Structure 1
Amino acid sequence: MIDKLRTLVLRNGGFSAALAMFLVFFISYQMLHPRGFSTAVFIQNANESVAIGFVAIAQTIPVLLGGLDLSVGAVMTLANTIASHLVTGTPLQMVLGMIATLLIGSAFGLMNGLIVVYGRIQPIIATLATGAIAIGLALLIRPSPGGEIDPDLNWALTNAVFDMAETFGFADNGNAAWLQPIANIPVPLIIILVVGVGVWLPFKRTVTGRTIYAIGSSEGAAYMSGLPVARAKIAAFTMAGFFASCGGLYLAIQTSSGNADISQAGAYTLNSIAAVVLGGTSLLGGIGGAIGSLIGAGILRVISFYFRILSIDPLLQPLIEGLVLLGAVSLGALRTFRVKNMMELFR
């Protein structure tokens, strides 16, 4: 049993290191927090981690191809502004508004994939351009911060399971006994796990998902093996758009508004890259996964939590975050320093 566990850890060294780092950081943060580990603190932490978690998953899939998607933050911002207009009214109208938001984000990702595949443009260049388009559309849709999100939806999805059940009438008339084991679990945590992991794991096991890994390892070999390379690339960027729009939709629900914030879009994009690398995904492609990126996003968020409880000077916070980002991206380049033969990079 111990040997199997050791083998599993060694095979997933990047993920194991990220998980250990996250646990150390998070447990230390909870010990230092004045209120300790409480439901309120846990819910707050989960709320602040959902958007970056979704954007990190969005970035992971193009990175597995061996590319970067510089539009994920912009697509998230576009979805945020769209949701601030559509997610209101009757329950049916809100559901349709959410679906429309996710479809628009996915369509933007599909456009990225088509440009990369049929336009034969490098992903980093194509998505840099389309990201600017997304920000421009977001500014047209929401020139100034504002909007209206249903308050009951906001309360239900940003608190504990019991609060959601009570809001929707599932905990009335003494029928809350079945909720007790899960009553204090943050709904945001459930959302990111159900949507993020629930969509990623089945997709990863499909032919298209496996082809994405094959392309990242060796696109030439994947093509010669008869794998659907073009379809996998298009699917990868479409999935990136979907997950980025999930982040924007949740951000709109959490803040009850939309904001076409250019600096925020850029920050989320950069942090998504850092989260991907921290989670053990190689920037060279073919190695890693979305679950590791979620852990990487958690590490970045816990670092920002330390700023609050340690009263770090706001002027120093960008410096510290920049050093973390630089260190995270540098970790992804360590493999190149150990390479003696450049052909090894494509194995």
Structure 2
Amino acid sequence: MTRWIGQNRGFAAALALFLALYLSYHLMHPRGFSTAVLVQNSNELVAIGFVAMAQTVPVLLGGLDLSVGAIMTLAACVASWLLDGTPLQIAFGMIATLAVGTAFGLLNGLIVVYGRLQPIIATLATGAIAIGLALLIRPNPGGNVDGDLNWALTNSVFDFAETYGIGQDGEATWLAPFVNIPLPLILLFGMACLVWLPFKRTVTGRTIYAIGSAEGAAFASGLPINRARIAAFTLAGFFAACGGLYLAIQTSTGNADVVQAGAYTLNSIAAVVLGGTALLGGTGGVIASILGAMILRAVSFYFRILDIDPLLQPLIEGIVLLAAVSAVAFRTFRVKNQLELFR
């Protein structure tokens, strides 16, 4: 355990901070550790969690993706048109929504690789395009998402099973230990485990880490640099689309909100840093960024329970983020050789 903490100090510190914040929050909450509170908190986490996942992959390369919030917004607007009708139509709508986000991510990767533009510039431009398309699709907030889908995916496992008639004949007794788990958490961590963890172990996934650690060495080793860059931004677009898809299901609407898109992008960067992923690239991961997003949301939970003036909330959030980022950055001041950052 001591060795693991030494090798993952950023993640360990983030985990300790989250546990301290969240446990004390629940101790102060009138309803404590109830399923209803856990479901509510989980619903507030999922969208920022997916966008943090999206931001993580380009950051591992040593770059930033400023389009993740815009892609999420575009995906939500697309989903608000398509997630209604028969089960087949809903399934098609989900696939189409994810395809739109993935295509935008692929576009980002192609521009960065073959256009030879800095990621921050390329994604700033494509993010503006995504918001423009979102405004064409939804000039005003609106849409219609299947009611059963909304209820089933934004509540506990029990509600999901009840909505779709799973286990009503008593044959699904294996489901009993999981009925109180919020389904939003299963969706978030399930996507991370099913998509990111297998990808991370591929040659392309390892190349992403190698580029962030030492791009020259990765190139000299014959690793597929271009393929890894394109894959990183494509995966970022996919995760951002997952966030938009869930946001549409959660709110049953689409809204091409420019301010919201910008806020999610900035919060995604904050979540990545809070989770212990280095902005220099090469170290960290998606799970750590989800933890960073959980810290961000845990801070916001206190605003409700302590009834803090909304005018003071941005100030408090800024102070917390500055303190956390400074703590992470403090390590770099003690480094004499940059290679030590990746050990």
TM-score w.r.t. the length of structure 2 is: 0.97
In the alignment, the residues of structure 2 paired with residue 298 and residue 85 of structure 1 have an alpha-carbon distance, to the nearest angstrom, of 30
- Please list, as runs of the form range in 1=range in 2, the aligned pairs for 1:1-347 lying within 5 A after superposition: 5-175=1-171, 177-340=173-336
- Maintained 8 Å contact 2:282/2:342: no
How many equivalent residue pairs?
343
- Maintained 8 Å contact 2:80/2:253: yes
In the alignment, the residues of structure 1 paired with residue 271 and residue 328 of structure 2 have an alpha-carbon distance, to the nearest angstrom, of 11
| Structure 1 position 314, deviation (Å) | 0.3
In the alignment, the residues of structure 1 paired with residue 123 and residue 74 of structure 2 have an alpha-carbon distance, to the nearest angstrom, of 14
| Structure 1 position 129, deviation (Å) | 1.1
Deviations 1:40-97 (Å, cap 9, x if unpaired)?
0001111110011100010000000000001111100010100000111100000010
| Structure 1 position 328, deviation (Å) | 3.7
Higher alpha-carbon deviation: 316-325 or 242-251: 316-325
CA RMSD of aligned residues (A): 1.5
- Maintained 8 Å contact 2:283/2:342: no
Higher alpha-carbon deviation: 317-326 or 231-240: 317-326
In the alignment, the residues of structure 1 paired with residue 95 and residue 315 of structure 2 have an alpha-carbon distance, to the nearest angstrom, of 39
Deviations 1:125-147 (Å, cap 9, x if unpaired)?
11111111111111111011110
In the alignment, the residues of structure 2 paired with residue 321 and residue 201 of structure 1 have an alpha-carbon distance, to the nearest angstrom, of 31
| Structure 1 position 196, deviation (Å) | 1.9
Gaps of 5+ in 1: none
Q: Cα 1:172–1:229, aligned 2, differ >3 Å: closer, same or farther?
A: same
Q: Cα 1:329–1:136, aligned 2, differ >3 Å: closer, same or farther?
A: farther
Q: % of aligned pairs identical?
A: 73
| Structure 1 position 318, deviation (Å) | 1.1
